[in-house]
Amino acid sequence: MKKIERVCAITHILTEHPNRDYSLGTFAEAFGCARSSISEDIKLIRRSIEEGGLGYLETTAGVKGGVRYVPYITDAEAAKVLGGLKAAFEEPERVLGSGFLYTSDILFSPELAKGAARIFARHFASAEAEMVVTVETKGIGVALFTAELLDLPLAVLRRESRVSEGSTVSINYFSGSADRIQQMSLSKRAMKPGTRCIIIDDIMRGGGSIKGIEDMLAEFDASAVGIGVVVVAGGTGGKKIGNYLPLLLMSEDADKKLRMDINPELMAKGQRA
């Protein structure tokens, strides 16, 4: 196999398996060549991938030396994703009579949900999280892609406890948007004590449901090391939780017209926040 074909094959394998460690020895064996050749290949692939702005390679040196592809987006790519999300959420036909927005198609669009997940994955890459957590239903897409990009498992809190969850922990919380007490539950099998979690949700109004997830994590002796929400409504202050990362800020202008702004914090970040 020629060098160029090997480089192509390795690029493909790494890209298909984000955040998975491959030892140089594995590739050397698979392609029947010296470790030193693979090492040269990786240098070239790293340069090429990093110029594209979709990700970068992390390598560890030494006998057990390996490589992993970390999906990433540059500021320029992130701006494009955020612009696409903003444009989608701002479509006037989404506004429902009740002041709510129809968003299911956005949140389950593989392209838009994965775009949002890329930004969360970039932001929380160094949080040393062990699990991604969300509550059903509309945040599941973004949460799952975030988990995939960070190579972590995902736990989904349920609104009702189901027989197929086995014994569960349930908590009650006040949902401002539903204006009533709601319940969420999680299987006792879902999480080990001490787990470091990233919480992902689709839309935050008062912060009640994310506060609920935090309370649930406390029941498992687990903790939130990052909180990401796609949209925050009604300003970023006065919420039930403190430190969270919204992508879009939803407000109404003087004419009561819906307005979506890209979180300015996101644009001020360096390339490897």
Told to check if 15 binds a copy of itself by CB under 8 A, we report yes
**Which tokens hold the place of 148?**
């995939």
Cα-based angle 109, 112, 116 (whole degrees, multiple of 5): 130
Beta bridge partners of 182: 173
Told to check if 137 binds a copy of itself by CB under 8 A, we report yes
Taking the C-alpha atoms of residue 53 and residue 65, their distance in angstroms, rounded to an integer, is 24
Q: Which of 114, 122, 123, 239 binds a copy of itself (CB under 8 A)?
A: 114
Q: Does residue 33 sit in helix, strand or coil?
A: coil
Q: How many CA atoms lie within 13 A of 198 on its CB side?
A: 33
Told to check if 136 binds a copy of itself by CB under 8 A, we report yes
- Give the interface segment with a copy of itself, choosing from 58-66, 84-92, 142-150, 225-233 (CB under 8 A): 142-150
- Give the interface segment with a copy of itself, choosing from 83-91, 134-142, 244-252, 255-263 (CB under 8 A): 134-142
Told to check if 110 binds a copy of itself by CB under 8 A, we report yes
Smallest distance from a copy of itself to CB 25, Å: 18
Place of tokens 């919480």: 199
Smallest distance from a copy of itself to CB 91, Å: 11
Tell me the Cα Rg of the chain. Answer: 21
- Residue 69's H or E segment, with its range, is strand 66-71
Q: Which of residues 175-194 bind a copy of itself (CB under 8 A)?
A: 187, 189-190
Q: Does residue 3 sit in helix, strand or coil?
A: helix
Cis-peptide into 15, omega within 30 deg = no
Q: Which of 154, 213, 216, 249 binds a copy of itself (CB under 8 A)?
A: 154
Smallest distance from a copy of itself to CB 173, Å: 17
Three-state secondary structure string covering 209-250: HHHHHHHHHHHCCCEEEEEEEEEEECCCCCCCCCCCEEEEEE
Q: Which of 66, 141, 207, 208 binds a copy of itself (CB under 8 A)?
A: 141
Asked whether the beta carbons of 254 and 244 are under 8 A apart, the reply is no
Q: Which of 108, 169, 171, 240 binds a copy of itself (CB under 8 A)?
A: 108
Q: Which of 33, 44, 79, 171 binds a copy of itself (CB under 8 A)?
A: 44
Smallest distance from a copy of itself to CB 167, Å: 9
Beta bridge partners of 252: 258
Told to check if 87 binds a copy of itself by CB under 8 A, we report no
**Residues of the shown chain interacting with a copy of itself in the complex, contacts defined by CB under 8 A:** 3-5, 7-9, 11-13, 15-16, 44-45, 47-49, 51-52, 54-55, 71, 96, 98, 100-105, 108-110, 113-114, 136-138, 140-141, 144-145, 147-148, 151-156, 158, 163-166, 187, 189-190
